[in-house]
Structure 1
């Protein structure tokens, strides 16, 4: 599947490959330490996606809000 922004698709594929390799070769074998290379690729991909969403006038404020452990957690969505 391609990314939300075509310009981000190659980064997404690179990250997916990195993550899948880490998951299969490390995580499933009990080695849960993070892969710094995958983290760096993810950060670049995340930045690209945020930029693409902004260019498409998609507001991401609501999805970035931290609600875990707050009164908003497990609340039904507001009615539109």
Structure 2
């Protein structure tokens, strides 16, 4: 795993990365099981989302706070804001919707 943007955030990043990787592997299990029903998968994914908050949510929030402080201290915040304005994130289209002419 790579170091964080700021050395004081690296231990939080490593803790979060480890937590997320374990959680995500368990999250994918029903996708790999061919005999699971759609209802079983949906229930599993809901439980896993709740479990993520319980297991990893606190360390994620701490890491995010550390990174936000590092971004401010390094003076990167204006560059990030400029990038967001120039290239805003857009909501993805629903799977059943055809792509619009604007998305090309």
TM-score, structure 1 normalization: 0.72
Count of aligned pairs: 71
Whole-angstrom CA distance in 2 between matches of 1:53 and 1:74: 31
Question: Rg larger in 1 or in 2?
Answer: 2
Bigger fraction of residues in helix: 2
Aligned to 2:81: 61
Output one character per residue of 1:38-60: Cα deviation in whole Å (capped at 9) or x when no partner: 12211111110010011000013
Unaligned runs of 5+ in 2: 31-43, 92-101
Report the RMSD for the aligned CA atoms in angstroms.
Answer: 2.4
Whole-angstrom CA distance in 1 between matches of 2:9 and 2:82: 22
Instruction: Using the TM superposition, give the Cα deviation of residue 68 of structure 1 relative to its aligned residue in structure 2, in angstroms.
Output: 1.6
Question: Which contiguous aligned blocks of 4+ residues in structure 1 show a shift greater than 3 angstroms?
Answer: 62-67
Whole-angstrom CA distance in 1 between matches of 2:17 and 2:69: 19
TM-score, structure 2 normalization: 0.57
Unaligned runs of 5+ in 1: 76-80
